[in-house]
Amino acid sequence: GHPVFTECQSTLADGLAVPLIGANAYATAAPLVDKVVCVSEEYIAIAILRLVEMEKAVVEGAGATGLAAVLQGLLPELKGKKVVIPLCGGNIDTTVLGRVLERGLVADKRLLKVWLTVSDRPGSLAQMCKLFSTAGASVKDIYHERAWLKSDMFSVQIQVVLEVRDSEHAAELTRIISEAYEHVQFYNENAQ
């Protein structure tokens, strides 16, 4: 192989985002590299999230790409083997880290975003929150919309972000909410 020029794109792994590998770096690495893979931004965010949650380690995007490749399943030849993944670089801005962790939670199916229309009468919001709580979800964010709602005058549209345990819990909650409310729309990440 040989170095190839590529267009740089915005990425969590900005430490790896170079248009062309340096001649010396290539000469040093080429005899030692068996495989090169491209990992998705989604899995880089999940890798950073896993490292913070499980290892209590803050690692920048470029340093988390090795774990991201394993999590994404790009290295099936490593399955069942003991593997060492170097974690390098903690140069991540705290505000960026917060956004990355939140994106990691979305990618890991641990945040559920839903819009629903409920009665704008006393107790309706409490009833909705009780439904979420009983199902084991926690309200992370909530927004009420009254002015632009085109249905009846005594309804309110609620946008809510719920923290859930995992994708199975999200699916269960989706079913529960859909059965309880007539006008419901769930965020579909594939539509974005």
The answer to whether residues 113 and 186 touch, using CB atoms and an 8 Å cutoff, is: yes
Which stretches of the chain score pLDDT less than 70?
A: 189-192
Given 106, 126, 146, which residue is the final one in a domain?
106
Residues 146 and 81 in one domain: no
How many domains would you assign to the chain?
2
Q: What is the pLDDT of residues 64-93, one digit of tens each?
A: 999 999 999 999 999 999 999 999 899 999
Which range of residues forms the domain containing residue 90? 14-106
Q: What is the pLDDT of residue 138?
A: 96
Residues 99 and 118 in one domain: no
Nearest-CA neighbor of 168 among 97, 122, 107, 109?
109
Residues 124 and 183 in one domain: yes
Nearest-10 crossing angle of helices 124-134, 167-180: 150
CA pseudo-torsion sign 68, 51, 34, 36: positive
Asked whether residue 8 is domain-assigned, the answer is no
Residues 68 and 150 in one domain: no
Given 106, 134, 161, which residue is the final one in a domain?
106
Q: What is the pLDDT of residue 189?
A: 60
Cα dihedral 64, 65, 67, 73 in deg (nearest 10): 150
